[in-house]
Structure 1
């Protein structure tokens, strides 16, 4: 695998500084790395006043990197209306915006939780230029189990129309094969990410590689190929 489009550093909840993550990616032979620290709505995320320093640090590191470095953030969905915690001014400075849902609102039933998750994602993608949906349907387990394929298809159709990729995530290893086949069948690009929080796991995409092989993905289906052109 040539790319890892989802890693965290000590700027949010990662252990290592960005230069160490870059060195690890280079040592693993990656051609492309996206550093995507958490936005400010998450308790472990960057504070608003830390974002400019984060962006400057990554821009400086990019100059001497031996791979292509993407400056990114993993934004948080704030509500079912699809609002996110990254301002448009910040968005314009990013190479890649990854989107995650890390909390749901006053819902305890798994089926209702899955529907709330779905509505939140769909509305966020409609409202904002999102490059990647991180760890899809992962919220204390795989919420896609509580949805029908027709319900999931609503997300896939919106993602395809907006050019938003769905992540195949090494850390959570879910959803399964049927979900990712449906992504391809509906014209959705796939992204690959370890969700690494420490240097030793950067670029270790064993499960991801196996999943891509199972579903018969082609290079043109993978988001990272666009950044390497």
Structure 2
């Protein structure tokens, strides 16, 4: 399975990453990506950029180093009501909104509360994908959440960093189960390196291996072509991006 879009990457603006967007795009071009989602942390994460950072992504060129730039954010799921730390007016400036649990923002709780939060963030209609769901600190009812994601066309991330053993240790077992059940339900999958340094951009080998293990249909992996990714955004109700018209 060939992946040409990395939907989860960070720049030094996140406060704990080490590369610029130009360095990330240069690495993406060298590694054969067509589209790069820049998804710095939303404001509630310690060290994250402020409110205006996300509005001002409109100044980013649509191509850097010949790689298409998708303006995005990794928002924080804040509570069981499914609220995220992104102002409603910010949405118009962004193409791609992920939501994830992070321990400094959402204190790990019970499986029932994690499940409630995920279901409500999906139902809010404000997020396009759920990030690194394998984290063992945030156990949830996988079938309940994935059926809701399927109903609302929210993608499920297979996070490569979670499968390396370097972060969110113990995620691999949960990620395996998420992909297995996700295939049965027919969810959309996305793939993210979760790169915090430019050389990790497009490092998606572990994610691809897991998707291949369960013989996931490439048509359900939205990162296998620019067209699949951009048309998924249309399915989510996003506007066409004129600069990428040749890929629709």
Q: TM-score range by the shorter chain?
A: 0.7 to 0.9
1:76 and 1:142 mapped to 2: Cα distance?
15
1:196 and 1:152 mapped to 2: Cα distance?
25
Equivalent residue, structure 1, for 2:202: 203
2:49 and 2:211 mapped to 1: Cα distance?
32
Aligned pairs, number: 215
2:71 and 2:150 mapped to 1: Cα distance?
23
8 Å CA contact 2:134–2:175 kept in 1: the answer is no
2:30 and 2:229 mapped to 1: Cα distance?
23
2:39 and 2:221 mapped to 1: Cα distance?
18
Gapped runs of 5+ residues in structure 1? none
Question: Residue by residue, what CA displacement relative to the aligned partner does 1:83-118 show, whole Å, maximum 9, x if unpaired?
Answer: 11112221122111011111375656xxx2x32222
Equivalent residue, structure 1, for 2:98: 98
Equivalent residue, structure 2, for 1:162: 152
Alpha-carbon distance, 1:218 to partner: 1.7
1:193 and 1:64 mapped to 2: Cα distance?
19
Q: Secondary structure at the match of 1:92?
A: helix
Q: Secondary structure at the match of 2:86?
A: coil
1:128 and 1:65 mapped to 2: Cα distance?
33
Q: Which moved further from structure 2: 169-178 or 13-22?
A: 169-178
Q: Please state if 1:130 is matched with 2:127.
A: yes
Equivalent residue, structure 1, for 2:86: 86
Alpha-carbon distance, 1:209 to partner: 1.2
Alpha-carbon distance, 1:63 to partner: 3.9
Q: Secondary structure at the match of 2:196?
A: coil
Q: Secondary structure at the match of 1:83?
A: coil
Equivalent residue, structure 1, for 2:235: none
TM (norm. structure 2) is 0.80
8 Å CA contact 1:9–1:16 kept in 2: the answer is yes
Gapped runs of 5+ residues in structure 2? 164-171, 231-246
1:4 and 1:46 mapped to 2: Cα distance?
21
Q: Secondary structure at the match of 1:176?
A: helix
1:193 and 1:107 mapped to 2: Cα distance?
23
Alpha-carbon distance, 1:44 to partner: 2.2
Q: 1:41 to 1:128 in 2, by over 3 A?
A: farther
Out of 30, 47, 56, the position equivalent to 1:27 is 30
Q: 1:205 to 1:165 in 2, by over 3 A?
A: same
8 Å CA contact 2:154–2:188 kept in 1: the answer is yes
Equivalent residue, structure 2, for 1:153: 143
1:6 and 1:64 mapped to 2: Cα distance?
17
Equivalent residue, structure 1, for 2:72: 72
2:91 and 2:112 mapped to 1: Cα distance?
27
TM (norm. structure 1) is 0.86
2:4 and 2:142 mapped to 1: Cα distance?
29
Q: Secondary structure at the match of 2:181?
A: helix
2:101 and 2:194 mapped to 1: Cα distance?
14
